[in-house]
Amino acid sequence: MIANQLQSWRERYPSLGYIAPFAAVLLLIAAPKPASLIYWEWPVQTLVVALVCFLTWPKDASFKVSYWFMSIIAGVVTLLLWIGPELINPKYRDFFLFSNGIVGHVGSSLRAEALKSNWVLFWRTVRASTVVPVAEELFWRAWLMRWLINSDFQKVPLGAYAPMAFWVTALLFGAEHGPYWDVGLLTGVIYNFWMLRTKSLGDCILVHAVTNLIMSLYVIKYGQWQYWQ
């Protein structure tokens, strides 16, 4: 019964499977977070988003990866671009363009006590490197880039290029990253280009997952908590 209803919704609203996981990520981030649930926030977010992905997964979406090596390299290069500015100049993010009332301010979303918990750090890393890349690539590269070309996006193949769609997606992706909008924009350009190059959702998810995984390990190893907004 439930399976049939979900199938009906997917057929009636083809955008659902591409938007719902990303919407779930945003709603969970915005939801109130009682201090008493500090150790369960990240596993709950991970499992809820995974469940939404499972229930709404588009029938034409695939995890298939065609360019394993180059996708991994692209993910590593993107990570270096993220941390590069502050490695060169530790005060880079103090500049008003990256710290103001519009884009926000650099700082971690994790409470101080959470930073001391291996359980929290583990689940924060799992979330960043699994469900977030899936949800974001479904939305940004597999849906929005196509929808901006044609509202009947299923008629647009993955990796189709239109300048407006490419740059609007990259700009919005950059804006999503607040005080890191500059490297977020550059990352959006790289991920968009990788979709054009590979025409593969799976490859884009892999690039994104590699970036997020190495970023998480870097954050934990060197205490660079500001990257976990």
Structure tokens given for 146: 């196509």
Instruction: State which amino acid sits at residue 133.
Output: P
Prediction pTM value: 0.94
Q: Flag whether pLDDT at 1 surpasses 60.
A: no
Residue 215 lies in domain? 60-227
Q: Let me know if residue 168 belongs to a domain.
A: yes
Separation between Cα atoms, residue 174 and residue 192, nearest integer Å: 12
Structure tokens given for 80: 């270096």
Q: Let me know if residue 121 belongs to a domain.
A: yes
Number of domains in the chain: 1
CA distances from 25 to 30, 78, 93, 137 (A): 9, 22, 26, 12
Give the Cβ contact number of residue 39 at 10 Å. 13
Three-state SS for 51? helix
Segment 186-227, tens digit of pLDDT: 999 999 999 999 999 999 999 999 999 999 999 999 999 999
Instruction: Give the residue-averaged pLDDT of 159-173.
Output: 98
Segment 109-156, tens digit of pLDDT: 888 888 889 999 999 999 999 999 999 999 999 999 999 999 999 999
- Planar angle of CA 51, 205, 217, nearest 5 degrees: 90
Q: Let me know if residue 49 belongs to a domain.
A: no
Q: Let me know if residue 43 belongs to a domain.
A: no
Q: Let me know if residue 91 belongs to a domain.
A: yes
Q: Flag whether pLDDT at 35 surpasses 80.
A: no
Q: Let me know if residue 55 belongs to a domain.
A: no
Segment 65-95, tens digit of pLDDT: 999 999 999 999 999 999 999 999 999 999 9
Q: Let me know if residue 67 belongs to a domain.
A: yes
CA distances from 54 to 65, 89, 136, 159, 161 (A): 19, 42, 15, 24, 29
Q: Let me know if residue 30 belongs to a domain.
A: no
